[in-house]
Amino acid sequence: MAILVTGGTGYIGSHTVVELLNLNKEVVVLDNFVNSSPEVVGKIKKITGKEFKFYELDLLDKEKLQKVFEENNITEVIHFAGLKAVGESVKKPLEYYSNNIIGTLILLEVMRKYNCKKIIFSSSATVYGDQGVPKYVETMERGKTTNPYGTTKSMIEKILEDLYISDKEWGIVLLRYFNPVGAHESGLIGDNPNGIPNNLMPFVQKVATGKLPELSIYGNDYPTKDGTGVRDYIHVVDLAKGHINAIEKLNKEQTGVYIYNLGTGTGYSVLDIVNTFEKVNNIKIPYKIAPRRAGDLPELYADPTKAKEELNWVATKNLEDMCRDSWNFAQKQNK
Ligand code: NAD
Ligand code: UD1
C-alpha cells in the first residue's frame, strides 16, 4: 500500500513527501532530475529520519515505469512531474506538450494496467484564465490559457475528467494551486530555480543574497491598493498538507472527480511582499518600477471555501512566515 509521488524531488513534491513520511505513509518517489537534484533525496531523509524508495526515471519511459508498479503495491499517485516555466513554454511548446501531456498519458495507462485508479493532479490557478473578477471559485469554467504551460494544465484536467466519464472506478482530485512560496523551516529544501527566476519570491531571494542587483516591479499603475499586482501567496508547507487531505478525501469517496483551489483567500501586492520581506528579515530589497509584464493580470486570489468545507483544509501560515522561511532557505544555498 504505497503512494507514488511523481516529481517528488521538486519544490512542492519534496515538501509533500516530507508530510507523507511524517505521517508514516509508505512512499515511493520518482523523478528524472530535469528540474531538481539528487541531493534532495538525502535531505528529505534527513528532515524526516525516514526511508523511502526512490527511482530515477522519466515518465516517458513506460517500461521502467511499469517496473515501479510491478515492484510496489501502488494504491494512489500524486502527480507533480511536469515542466513549469511559463516563458520557456512559449519558446519550447513541443517539449512542454510532450513532457507534460504524454508523460501524464503514459502514467495513466500504466496506472490503469495495474488497476491503480486514484490520482491527485497538480493543476494551477492559471486554468481559470481571465475571469474579469479577482476571486476565483471552482464553479467557474476553465478559461482561455495564454501560454503552452497553462494549456497543458487545462488539457490534463480535461483528460482526467474524460477518463472518469469512461470509467467510473477512477478517483481524481484536481488541485489548483495559487502562488506557492516559502520553504521547509529546516531550510534544507525550497524553491531554487536555475538561472534568472521568473517568479517573484525566488527573484526577491536572489536580490537579498546579492546575486542580483535589484528587483523590477512589473507595473505600479494597476487598479489595486498600491498599484502593484496582487496574488494569493501560499506557504508551500500548507500546500503540501493540502495533498494529505486530498488523499483522505479520495480514500473516503473512492471514486469521482473533485476540484479544489489551494490558496489562502487573501491577496497581497508586490510591495506587500517587498515590505514584509524587508521587515521580518531586516534586509533591504532594492527595486525599480518597470513596465507591466505581458500576460499579467492585476489581481487574483482564491476562494478557498470549498477546500475548507470538503477537505477540512485551511492555510495556517502568514506572509511573515513565508518571507522568513524563504530567506532562511536562500541563505543556505550556494547559488
Ligand atoms: P518543480 O519543477 O520543482 O518540480 C517538478 C519535478 O518534476 C522536478 O523535480 C522535475 O525534475 C520533475 N519532472 C519533470 N518532468 C519529468 C518527467 N518527465 N519525468 C520525471 N520527472 C519529471 O516544480 P514545482 O514547483 O514543485 O511544481 C510541481 C507541480 O505543480 C508541477 O506540475 C507544476 O506545474 C505545478 N504547479 C506549480 C506551481 C508553482 O508556482 N510552483 C503553481 C501551480 C502548479
Ligand atoms: C506566474 C505565471 C503563472 C504560473 C505562476 C506560478 C505568468 C504570466 N504567469 O504567475 O502562469 O502559474 O507564475 O508559477 O508568468 N513580479 C514582479 N517582478 C518580478 C516577478 C514578478 O513585479 O520579477 C510580479 C508580477 O507582475 C505579479 C507578481 O509579482 O504581479 C507575481 O508574479 P509571479 O511570481 O511570476 O506569479 P504569477 O504572475 O501569479
Tell me which residue has its CA closest to atom 1 in ligand 2: 199
Ligand 1 atom with the smallest distance to the CA of 58 is 19
Q: Mean pLDDT across the chain, nearest whole number? A: 96
Mean pLDDT computed over 17-37: 97
Percent of all residues in the chain with a pLDDT value above 70, rounded to a whole number = 99
- How many whole angstroms from 162 Cα to the centroid of ligand 2? 30
Contact 203, 215 (CB under 8 A): yes
Find the ligand nearest to 231 CA: 2
Angle between helices 11-22 and 39-48 (to 10 degrees): 30
- How many whole angstroms from 86 Cα to the centroid of ligand 2? 9
Angle between helices 11-22 and 236-253 (to 10 degrees): 60
- How many whole angstroms from 85 Cα to the centroid of ligand 1? 9
pLDDT at 152 over 80: yes
The burial class, CB within 10 Å (0-12 / 13-18 / 19+), for 136 is buried
pLDDT at 196 over 90: no
How confident is the model over 49-59, as pLDDT tens digits?
A: 999 999 999 99
Catalytic residue among 149, 222, 260, 268: 149
* Number of CB atoms found within 10 A of residue 294's CB: 7
pLDDT at 278 over 80: yes
Mean pLDDT computed over 312-329: 98
pLDDT at 133: 96
pLDDT at 334: 60
Mean pLDDT computed over 262-286: 98
Q: What distance in Å separates the CA atoms of residue 17 and residue 5, rounded to the nearest whole number? A: 7
Q: Is 149 a catalytic residue?
A: yes
Is 217's C-beta closer than 6 angstroms to any atom of ligand 2? yes
- How many whole angstroms from 297 Cα to the centroid of ligand 2? 9
Is 130's C-beta closer than 6 angstroms to any atom of ligand 2? no
pLDDT at 197 over 60: yes
Ligand 2 atom with the smallest distance to the CA of 270 is 29
Q: Which of 114, 167, 163 is nearest to 2 (CA)?
A: 114
Q: Are strands 215-218 and 287-290 parallel, antiparallel or unpaired?
A: parallel
Residue 45 grid coordinates: 531523509
84-93, 168-177, 303-312: least confident range: 84-93
pLDDT at 335: 47
pLDDT at 192: 81
